[in-house]
Each structure stands twice: as structure tokens, then as C-alpha cells.
């Protein structure tokens, strides 16, 4: 059943589940970067990244700029 749900989601959203979740985390982090005074490590924790260096790499790959440049 779980695999069936995953396959349906992949078909509907056009990407795998991990990429989908990561894109949501990055979008949420963009909002926090712009609208709050949270430190980068706090934003990482809030959106589900346990490593701020990895978060910065993923963020830059998706957004095109580093989180500090936002």
C-alpha cells in the first residue's frame, strides 16, 4: 500500500518524494530567512535539516544563492 501511494504521488507531482519534501523545506526556510531574525542553525532545525552545511548546499542548489545572500 505504501509503495502504491508513493508511486501515485510521484506521478502527480512529477518528482520523487525526497525531492518534493526537500523543496518544501527550502521554501519554508526562505520564508523564515526573509520574515524572521532566526539564526541559520535555528531555521535548519525548524525546517528539518540537522546539518547547516548540508542545508546551505541544498539551498544554493535549489535557489541559486546561499541562505546568507537572501
Separation between Cα atoms, residue 9 and residue 35, nearest integer Å: 31
Domain boundaries, the chain: 16-65
**CATH code of the domain occupying 16-65:** 1.10.10.60
pTM confidence score: 0.80
CB–CB of 41/51 below 8 Å?
Answer: no
Q: State pLDDT tens for residues 10-61.
A: 777 777 788 889 999 999 999 999 999 999 999 999 999 999 999 999 999 9
Which residues in 17-38 are b (16+ Cβ under 10 Å) and which e? eeeeebeebbeebbebbeeeee
Amino acid at each position: 500500500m505504501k509503495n502504491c501511494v508513493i508511486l501515485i504521488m510521484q506521478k502527480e507531482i512529477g518528482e520523487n518524494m525526497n525531492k518534493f519534501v526537500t523543496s518544501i523545506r527550502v521554501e519554508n526556510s526562505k520564508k523564515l530567512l526573509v520574515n524572521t531574525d532566526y539564526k541559520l542553525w535555528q531555521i535548519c532545525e525548524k525546517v528539518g535539516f540537522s546539518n547547516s552545511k548540508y542545508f546551505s548546499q541544498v539551498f544554493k542548489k535549489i535557489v541559486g544563492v546561499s541562505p546568507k545572500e537572501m
